[in-house]
Chain A
Amino acid sequence: MKNRSLSFWLFLTPTLVALALVVFIPAIMGVFYSFTNWDGLGYTEMLGFKNYITLFHDSGFLAALWFTIKFVIVTVILLNVIGLALALLVTQKFKGNNLLRTVFFMPNLIGGLILGFIWQFIFTQAFDALGKALHMAWLTGWLTDGKTGFWGLVIVTVWQMSGYIMIIYIAYLQNIPSEVIEAAEMDGASPWQRFVHITFPMIAPAFTVCMFLTLSNGFKIYDQNLSLTNGGPYKSTEMLAMNIVNTAYSENNFAMAEAKALIFFLIVAAISLLQVYYNRKREVDL
């Protein structure tokens, strides 16, 4: 198809128009508004970097940023360890391994909003009942403070996403030629040695994929946050995405929300570009 041909442009127009109207034009407007005192309808003043200076003194934003970073570190580690462990488990030959795969993956299909509500019941009602029945005080009073709220969010995310990470690791595990494993077995390598020296190096690419997936997903989480704790109590579990949404739609501080969203964009974009860099590097190394 030639550049100047009519059909080339006819094939591209619908998506290009949608992309421009839905993503690029609003993004450019948003960046511009972040330097003004925009109130959602219009603006009267150019503020320069004032919004950006203010937001780095906004304790709510900084708390949300710190909370999100802690959350991302913990979930990236847990998701990859558990996801890989589940993948190793269900790729062994035993009765019911396929059914287990189905079960582990299932939460991933249900939306974060519904999952958060389900777990709100588990944490507040079922944990309470279990705690009383087993005389374990730590099971009672979940989601009533920032600490249990944090771990609540971690548990929901791990429960939801490990099955997804498992699926990716399985795809790579299945690409390991069985002859390699058999040869190592013949040479008398223990299961642990086989894992460290054969399996692990061969699924290294999967590790990169899953690392970045869990990283950027962790930063973007909103629905689970909304339905599980709604940022509470007293904003102690408010994450970055929710802080931006609330700045916009609860405080009607639209220009400030745009400034925060731009910082958010820079974080997420940096992670994605790092991923592209690593992928390229790996392809070159091979």
Chain B
Amino acid sequence: MKKTSRFFLGILGLILGILWIFPFYMILTNSFKTPKGIFASVLSLPGNGQATTANYHNSFKALDFISSLGHSLLITVVSVLILVLFSSMAAYALQRNKSKLSGAILMLFVSAMLIPFQTVMIPLTANFGQVHMLNMWGLMFMYLGFDASLSIFLYQGTMGSIPIAMDESAELEGANRFQIFFKIIFPMLTPITVTVGILNIIAIWNDYLLPSLVLPQNQYTIPLQMFFFFGQYTKQWHLALAGLTLSIIPVILFYIFAQRYIIKGVTDGAVK
């Protein structure tokens, strides 16, 4: 490509990049202003005696940030571990059994992906309420039900490339099914495990509607706490913006450290 057209592409990219970053920039700069400072000028940088870090201090407390961060982490990590474990096991059973029955079970899982959440939410919460499972443990179980389908589907597609001779030779050496799966097959699935993990982490971390129907207030995650906080502090943008910035930080950190895997996982999840 010619040098000049490269230069213009760079300029175009720069403009689009700035446009994309603009909302984050607005949130960040205004989160360091007093209410007066935001009112006086939204577009300027914090200054003129209207710069402050107190918003962060106050919203950190109002959001009960440590505890909601803890709930988000606990729910996401445990749910994803459960999902990875059980859906890889299920995919193994389905892929290594070539009967009509296993084909039908796989179809059952795939067809569950067609059912939108709104169709099941009311009976689901009513049922779980009756057995006192409207809490984070019930929620983790629900994520297994909702997200196993896609995970099994992804595992099942990859499992086919692991030769069945691996199973057979281990069987000859006297290993049972569980040993074969956990010692030989599961370690070979690591790339797709990363993909399944990433996709579920993103979905569960950001989920709002299901946890809002399931969790009691003392188990609120970051999105729930944020919604509650917005209801309480309407039009107090100085606190809200600091809270929003706080709630984005964990996601940005995750993105910085796992960027390569995230892009690969998201691509696999959409294309397969």
**A interface, CB within 8 angstroms of B:** 1-3, 5, 7-8, 11-12, 14-16, 18-19, 21-27, 29-30, 33, 40-41, 86, 89-90, 92-97, 99-114, 117-119, 121-122, 125-126, 128-130, 133, 159, 164, 167-168, 170-171, 209, 213, 220, 222-223, 226-227, 241, 244-245, 248-249, 254, 257-258, 260-262, 264-265, 268-269, 272-273
Contact = CB atoms under 8 A, between A and B. Distances in A.
B10 A106 contact: no
Interface in B197-241: 202, 205-209, 213, 223, 226-227, 230, 237, 240-241
Given A7-B178, A109-B255, A223-B208, A209 B118 contact: no
Nearest to A98: B259
A23 B210 CA distance: 13
Given A11-B177, A264-B116, 16 more contacts: A3-B101, A12-B89, A22-B145, A23-B145, A26-B127, A93-B6, A94-B6, A103-B20, A112-B206, A122-B22, A125-B42, A126-B43, A167-B270, A223-B223, A264-B118, A268-B114
A8 B94 CA distance: 8
B256 to A, nearest CB: 9
B144 A125 contact: no
B122 A254 contact: yes
Given A19-B112, A126-B43, A168-B270, A109 B13 contact: no
Contacts of B251: 109-110
B10 A167 contact: no
Contacts of A220: 116-117
A40 B121 CA distance: 11
B184 interface: no
Contacts of B21: 103
B96 interface: yes
A125 B17 contact: no
B156 to A, nearest CB: 12
B170 to A, nearest CB: 13
A86 B105 CA distance: 40
Nearest to B141: A18
9 contacts: A18-B141, A19-B145, A23-B120, A30-B119, A30-B120, A92-B1, A102-B255, A167-B267, A245-B121
A113 B119 contact: no
B49 interface: no
A199 B71 CA distance: 47
B6 A40 contact: no
Contacts of A114: 206, 223, 226, 244, 247-248
Interface string B88-118: 0110111011010110010011001111111
B93 A12 contact: yes
Interface string B27-38: 100100000001
Contact of A209 (B24, B177, B263, B271): B271
B145 A111 contact: no
Contact of B254 (A86, A100, A109, A117): A109
A36 to B, nearest CB: 12
A73 to B, nearest CB: 19
Contacts of B223: 111, 113-114, 223
Interface in B119-153: 119-124, 126-127, 141-142, 144-146, 148-149, 152
Interface string B66-87: 0000000000000000000011
B116 A268 contact: yes
B172 interface: no
B208 A129 contact: no
Contacts of A110: 206, 248, 251
A12 B90 contact: yes
B221 to A, nearest CB: 10
Contacts of B178: 7
Contacts of B53: none
A248 B121 CA distance: 10
Most buried by A among B178, B181, B255: B255
B262 to A, nearest CB: 7
B50 interface: no
Given A23-B115, A159-B23, A264-B116, A117 B97 contact: no
A104 B89 CA distance: 36
Most buried by A among B93, B105, B181: B93
Contact of B263 (A18, A23, A117, A167): A167
Contacts of A128: 42
B26 interface: yes
